[in-house]
Structure 1
Amino acid sequence: MTLRIEAVGTVVGGRTEVAHDYWGGIESIIRLDPTFPSEVVKGLDEFSHLLVTWHFSQSSPDDVGPCFQAMGPQGAIQEPSWPTEMLTDYWAVR
């Protein structure tokens, strides 16, 4: 099986070296590829955090590990009401 991943943008700023720790205070931007229309990020400003999936192109298997709650968003989480409404029954047992 082959999985093809097409990047939608590039991370600019922040770090240049591969490092696992000390991400506090690091600021970067995601520069959207010009082939994607700006409408794809419409409403994104209503959220306080963004989950970014990235390709481990500069990492080794030793760099990959579990996600701990302490690694999650820092500070208050802000979002519009529609995700809660949409996911009301997400964890329901059928």
Structure 2
Amino acid sequence: MQKFTLTSSDKIRFVSLSLIPPSKMLIKVKTLTGKEVELDIEHNERVSRLKEKIEEKEGIPPAQQRLIFSGKQMNDDKGVDEYRIAAGSVLHLVLALRGGF
């Protein structure tokens, strides 16, 4: 490591780096049967789009899907960033089946 000697007439420039999250991240969706589905998503993607991706992979219509993260049901109109979902997060998929008589 190199040492530098500073005097009162020296100028130091500080550079501020903002932490920009990567645009894509990999998350997992776990079903009640224990099956895990990996999804490559944008950090600001809408929950409704996640459900569409699950339908593409698993054939489950979005209307029948309920996604749970940190014990809370996720709202279709919100972005995953609003739930603080990060790369490696695990969401839980519950099916909302309609009963009838």
Give TM-score scaled by structure 1 length.
0.23
Q: Greater relative contact order (Cα 8 A, min sep 6): structure 1 or 2?
A: 2
TM-score, length-scaled by structure 2: 0.22
